Amino acid sequence: MKYLIVGLGNPGEQYSETRHNIGFKTLDALASASNVVFTPARYGDVASLKHKGRNLILLKPSTFMNLSGNAVRYWMQQEKIPVERVMIITDDLSLPFGKIRIRAKGSDGGHNGLKSVQEQIGGSHYPRMRFGVGNDFQPGQQVNYVLAPWTKEESDALDERLKMIGDAILSFSSIGLERTMNFYNNK
């Protein structure tokens, strides 16, 4: 059984340590812990991870955030993965730093990456995991905030949170979305 796990972010070194790239950072941590390597492919960097008889295709789109849906649609079609076995990982300004929220569906919440995914796959009924990056910014400074690097405090706490997100991704593929939501949404 195949799953598509998509970490949203922007390609390029200048974005690698920014809040907006938590999707990429999550997949990098999971790949490293699983001893798998990303390789360049169409619409992004891809790695394949085996877990409990499941094949997880990890995707970091190279399309930039606003066009992420193109990569998601292509890899869903290429690998013949139904929408219920897709997980999109993204940042969320409305959650405190480090809090995760897993949902089976929902709005894009003003997130351009999620908006692109919804446009390209034809709806908002797809699993997603939002990682809280907080909202410590002045009015009108949202873009600067998400494209800024982590603070030292955030950076120090990130490894532990990334491990938990990785565990939640593996849980999604092995015990399903509902049980994963019940276990991880309150952590």
Q: Structure tokens of 176?
A: 């399903």
Q: Give pTM, 2 decimals.
A: 0.94
- Specify burial of residue 39 (Cβ count, 10 A radius: 0-12, 13-18, 19+): exposed
- Residue 141 confidence (pLDDT): 87
Residue extents of the structural domains in the chain = 2-184
Verify whether residue 125 is a known catalytic residue: no
Say if strands 2-7 and 86-92 run parallel, antiparallel, or are unpaired.
parallel
| Marked catalytic residue, from 20, 51, 111, 125 | 20
- Residue 118 confidence (pLDDT): 93
- Residue 180 confidence (pLDDT): 96
* pLDDT tens-place string over residues 32-78: 999 999 999 999 999 999 999 999 999 999 998 889 999 999 999 99
| Residues lower than pLDDT 70 in the chain | none
Residues 6+ apart with CB under 8 A from 173: 1, 3, 51, 52, 54, 56, 85
Strand order in the sheet with 100-103: 39-41, 44-51, 54-61, 2-7, 86-92, 128-132, 100-103
CATH classification number, 2-184, choose in 3.40.50.300, 3.40.50.150, 3.40.190.10, 3.40.50.1470: 3.40.50.1470
